[in-house]
């Protein structure tokens, strides 16, 4: 049996843990995993699968493998911190004689579990067929969703009859990545439908809106705090801001990226420049780093992040998490509220 993706169900802590911790199959029953991309709702439960006895390969693109290295480790770290938070809160309540309603929490998996996934990764080249089972071949095509994302073509042959299944997920990210490859004909099509009923603004209008906002806030001496996903959205914003700076469309103020995960992911983007789209290519052709410029500074240490509290001049900070559910963005929002 082969598995397409192995993601985390996301939602309320207790309910999500109950679902994610109980796989519907044993790890040993899975011959291989085909991974479409690194987003945690597609890759995030691979450590649980490996811990439960999975011994086969995980087929993915090179960029997806690199992204998973950081994203799965970050997922394990956040789960560990979440469990520690609940346990400390229960201890405080017990000390005060206040009833506790949350049972003790364990992380879904550990950092070691996340690291063990790396040994199963098997790199795939786009558009190159790969045999993954009896009469079963795999080929990946560029999906343009996030760096390394691929649509999956599975082709099974039996009695001279071929059955083709195409699986893909996520909308394309315009301009930061190359346009997706046209998908092949298939007998069955499986699609993620998160954005199936939405229309998105063209990037040109987003660029103009961002420039107006930064100019407005900087003119009154304020700070622009941008919650952004560490994968894709942060890098898209960096390239967009780089262009606005070059065009003198925004004032000469510092721009910070304050997310350790986003900084690591940005390095992965740099190592895979050949997968970047037209916006990045315009800088690369001129010998410039699309993901780095004079005003941009990456804040790795928490101490450096906290120094932004003392800045009284305008600046832009891009931080995670994109949904404001955790990470350093909460610190910046609290600081802004107090200030």
Find the CATH number of the domain harbouring 284. Answer: 3.40.50.10890
Domain-ending residue, one of 171, 191, 211: 191
> Are 23 and 165 within one domain?
yes
Give the per-residue pLDDT at 338: 58
Assigned token pair, 15 = 């309910």
Task: Give every CB contact of residue 201 below 8 A, 6+ residues apart in sequence.
Answer: none
- Greatest mean pLDDT range, 34-38, 166-170, 181-185: 34-38
Give the per-residue pLDDT at 84: 76
Q: Please state whether the predicted TM-score (pTM) of the whole model is above 0.95.
A: no
CA atoms of 66 and 74, how far apart (whole Å): 13
The full 3-state SS of 211-226, as one line of letters, equals HHHHHHHHHCCCEEEE
What's the average model confidence in pLDDT over 215-241?
A: 94
CA atoms of 304 and 335, how far apart (whole Å): 14
Assigned token pair, 202 = 């063209």
Assigned token pair, 157 = 């042959």
- Please give the tally of structural domains in the chain: 2
CA atoms of 204 and 202, how far apart (whole Å): 5
> Average model confidence (pLDDT) for the chain?
89
- Which position has the higher pLDDT, 305 or 63? 63
Give the per-residue pLDDT at 339: 53
Indicate whether 196 belongs to any domain: no
Q: What percent of the chain has pLDDT over 70?
A: 94
pLDDT tens for 250-290 read 999 999 999 999 999 999 999 999 999 988 999 999 999 99
Task: Give every CB contact of residue 47 below 8 A, 6+ residues apart in sequence.
Answer: 72, 76, 108, 109, 110, 113, 114, 116, 117
pLDDT tens for 173-185 read 667 899 899 888 9
Beta strands 161-168; 150-158: pairing state: antiparallel
> Vertex 37, ends 167 and 112: CA angle to 5°?
130
Adjacency order of strands within the sheet including 223-227: 223-227, 315-319, 255-258, 296-298
Task: Give every CB contact of residue 156 below 8 A, 6+ residues apart in sequence.
Answer: 135, 136, 162, 163, 165
The full 3-state SS of 13-42, as one line of letters, equals HHHHHHHHCCCCCCHHHCCEEECCCCCHHH
Assigned token pair, 50 = 């490996």
> Are 24 and 173 within one domain?
yes
pLDDT tens for 280-332 read 999 999 999 999 999 999 999 988 888 888 888 999 999 987 677 777 888 78
Give the per-residue pLDDT at 332: 80
Domain-ending residue, one of 165, 191, 217: 191
> Are 300 and 178 within one domain?
no
What's 205's DSSP letter?
Answer: H
**What is the domain extent for residue 277?**
203-338
Domain-ending residue, one of 138, 165, 191: 191
């Amino acid at each position: 049996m082969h598995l397409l993706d192995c993601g985390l169900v996301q939602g309320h802590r207790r309910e999500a843990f109950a679902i994610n911790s109980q796989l519907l199959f044993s790890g040993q029953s899975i011959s291989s995993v085909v991974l479409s991309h690194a987003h945690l709702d597609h890759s995030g439960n691979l450590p649980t699968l490996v811990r439960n006895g999975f011994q086969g390969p995980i087929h993915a693109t090179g960029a997806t493998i690199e992204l998973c290295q950081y994203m799965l480790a970050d997922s394990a770290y956040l789960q560990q911190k979440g469990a520690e938070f609940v346990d400390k809160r229960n201890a405080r309540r017990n000390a005060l004689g206040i009833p506790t309603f949350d049972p003790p929490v364990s992380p879904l998996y550990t950092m070691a579990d996340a690291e063990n996934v790396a040994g199963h990764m098997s790199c795939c080249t786009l558009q190159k067929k790969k045999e993954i089972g009896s009469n079963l071949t795999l080929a990946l095509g560029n999906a343009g969703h996030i760096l390394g994302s691929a649509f999956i073509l599975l082709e099974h042959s039996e009695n001279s009859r071929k059955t083709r299944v195409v699986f893909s997920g996520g909308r394309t990210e315009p301009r930061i990545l190359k346009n997706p490859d046209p998908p092949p004909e298939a007998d069955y099509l499986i699609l993620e439908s998160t954005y199936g009923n939405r229309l998105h603004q063209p990037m040109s209008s987003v660029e103009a809106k961002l420039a107006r906002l930064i100019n407005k806030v900087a003119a009154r001496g304020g700070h622009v705090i941008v919650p952004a996903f560490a994968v894709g959205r942060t890098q898209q914003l960096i390239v967009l801001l780089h262009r606005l700076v070059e065009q003198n469309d925004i004032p000469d103020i510092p721009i910070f990226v304050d997310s350790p995960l986003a900084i690591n992911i940005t390095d992965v983007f740099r190592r895979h420049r050949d997968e970047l789209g037209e916006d990045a290519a315009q800088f690369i052709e001129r010998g410039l780093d699309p993901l780095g410029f004079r005003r941009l500074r990456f804040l790795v240490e928490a101490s450096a992040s906290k120094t932004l509290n003392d800045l009284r001049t305008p600046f832009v900070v891009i931080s995670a998490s994109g949904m404001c559910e955790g990470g350093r963005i909460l610190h910046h929002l609290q600081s802004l509220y107090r200030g």
